[in-house]
Amino acid sequence: MKVTVSRKGHFNAAHRLYRKDWSDEKNELVFDKCSNPNFHGHNYELIVSVTGEIDQETGYVIDIKTLKDIMKEEVEDAFDHKNLNIEVPEFKELNPTAENISVIIYNKIRPRIKSSLDLEITLFETPRNFVTYSGK
């Protein structure tokens, strides 16, 4: 029997959506006010879900404290109160859209989760706008 364990986290970060190889006009047309050269911020909400068999010895799919620590080290410490475009190396050449942020978070967490467990990232950029990524 498979069970999904989830933990919520959050971080606050600024970003600008734009492509260096496009004109300011094209960036504004595609990304609208999100391409503001002075950046803008979000209060991101994150749900990390791990699915797998319950360990018969511990009763856990994953120790939630372990998941909490991984999220803090890999995401919150790395992204919280940062300008994603400038201060986070993964976004030096990658547009920090919610889609790309969720993939980066997945890629940072995946190596720290047993390969026998499935991982899914849900990232809320606003209370109504969110993306989900599970490595597929």
Residue numbers annotated as active site: 34, 81, 125
Structural tokens at position 94: 């990658």
Q: What amino acid occupies position 20?
A: K
Is residue 66 within a helix (H) or strand (E), and if so which, with residue range? Answer: helix 64-71
Pairing outcome for strands 40-53 and 118-124:
antiparallel
How does DSSP classify residue 55?
P
Task: Report helix, strand or coil for 21.
Answer: coil
